[in-house]
Amino acid sequence: MTLGFAVVGAGVAARYHAQAIAQAGDARLVAVSRADPARAHEAEAEFGVPCETRYEGLLARKDVDAVCLCTPSGEHAAQAVAAAHAGKHVLVEKPMALALPDADRMIDAAQRAGVFLGVTFQRRTEPSYAELRRAVVAGELGSLVLGAVTVPYLRNQAYYDSAAWRGTWAHDGGGALMNQGIHLVDLLLWLMGDVEEVEARMTTASHRIEVEDCVAASLRFASGALGSIIATTSAAPGFPHRVEIYGTRGGVQIEGDAITRWETQGAGRRTTAAPGTVEAGSGASATGITATAHGRLIADFVAAIRDGRPPLVTGAEGRRSLALVLAIYEAARTGRAARPAREVLAE
């Protein structure tokens, strides 16, 4: 079974999705959608497929089985619901929505239509994080006591000025945490489990934008473990993100997507330390990654549809990361501890 994909949007994310579809197998790009009619021919030349300037026209195409939503974050919810009503599977870029009721509408629409909804947190497919997830589930680190992510990225003012929606609450939904850091928020939740309570501070340190470019949060997980999230887009020249997970029998440090240290005790004892410097990658530039992880995620999405199983990152998982980001923003704005909203429609 080969699924026909359409990419909605024509920016950086759209290019990654188009490349990933070509890599995935059992998938082919059949159309793109761009709202500006004056640039439709430009999109057709770049992507090599027809460009629909009306989203309704794209959804009416019989050769489109699934859509990749690579549009501004504030447009995701309405577009996902419309696609589900048209019987199309949906793979939506992060964040899946800007508000939890919108995320719930997306999940409900996909359920009712009998289509699949996935969220683009492609870092879960990186071998380092997949290996760490397996070790955590197997109990190789013992009881988890601490989880931390650090996102010391750089995005210059030109990045925010490149599109009117960037750096706005209404259309971007947030800054360093919602747009860049949410990938690492997803990984932390995937590895450590639900967060019970957060405290946070945020500021706009060096950009002319509405939203934050620096945030620090302290977490208490439902398991009793503690954690932290630190994210910025003001750290010149940009550095690789870090994920650190520690338990009563060992700990793992990952920088970028490379395991820099892995130490465990007892049965299956392991000691690994990787020398050398890790490249900044996406820490220094929005285009500082390849489409390889996207390709693995789309391959999983296609396999999930074929096999009738949930994709690696479901709508409920996408909602969970959104809920934590919104709770961090609430805590930072109010100066009081906040709790992520967990109510979600079953998938």
The CATH number for 16's domain is: 3.40.50.720
Which pairing describes strands 51-52 and 117-120: parallel, antiparallel, or unpaired? unpaired
Question: Sorting pLDDT into bands at 50, 70 and 90, what band is 282?
Answer: low
- How many Å apart are CA 66 and CA 129, to the nearest integer? 27
pLDDT attached to residue 38: 87
- How many Å apart are CA 176 and CA 313, to the nearest integer? 22
Residues 6 or more apart whose CB falls under 8 angstroms from that of 56 comprise 82
- 158 and 103 in a common domain: no
- 65 and 128 in a common domain: no
pLDDT attached to residue 35: 85
- 140 and 13 in a common domain: no
pLDDT attached to residue 25: 85
pTM for this predicted structure: 0.93
Question: Sorting pLDDT into bands at 50, 70 and 90, what band is 277?
Answer: low
Give the pLDDT confidence of 158-203 residue by residue, as tens digits: 999 999 999 999 999 999 999 999 999 999 999 999 999 999 999 9
Domain range for 21: 3-122+293-313
H or E segment at 175? Answer: none
- 257 and 150 in a common domain: yes
pLDDT attached to residue 346: 42
Residues 6 or more apart whose CB falls under 8 angstroms from that of 267 comprise none
Question: Sorting pLDDT into bands at 50, 70 and 90, what band is 273?
Answer: low
- 142 and 49 in a common domain: no
Give the pLDDT confidence of 241-262 residue by residue, as tens digits: 999 999 999 999 999 999 999 9
Name the average pLDDT for the chain.
93
H or E segment at 94? Answer: none
Q: Is residue 341 assigned to a domain? A: no
- 133 and 117 in a common domain: no
- Work out whether the CA dihedral 30, 34, 40, 42 comes out positive or negative: negative
Q: Is residue 345 assigned to a domain? A: no
Give the pLDDT confidence of 50-61 residue by residue, as tens digits: 999 999 999 999
Token pair belonging to 258? 């490379």
pLDDT average, residue stretch 58-75: 97
- 200 and 130 in a common domain: yes
The CATH number for 175's domain is: 3.30.360.10
Question: Sorting pLDDT into bands at 50, 70 and 90, what band is 154?
Answer: very high
pLDDT attached to residue 271: 73
Domain count for the chain, please give it: 2
pLDDT attached to residue 208: 98
Q: Is residue 344 assigned to a domain? A: no
Q: Which residue has the higher pLDDT, 345 or 309?
A: 309
- Look-up of token digits 């079953």: 346
**How far, in Å, are 67, 124, 262 from residue 251 at the CA level?**
39, 19, 6
Residues 6 or more apart whose CB falls under 8 angstroms from that of 276 comprise none
Q: Is residue 342 assigned to a domain? A: no
- How many Å apart are CA 16 and CA 291, to the nearest integer? 5
pLDDT attached to residue 312: 97
Percentage, residues of the chain above pLDDT 70: 93
- 59 and 132 in a common domain: no
Judge whether residue 278 has pLDDT over 80: no
Q: Which has the closest alpha carbon to 326: 346, 341, 345, 344?
A: 341
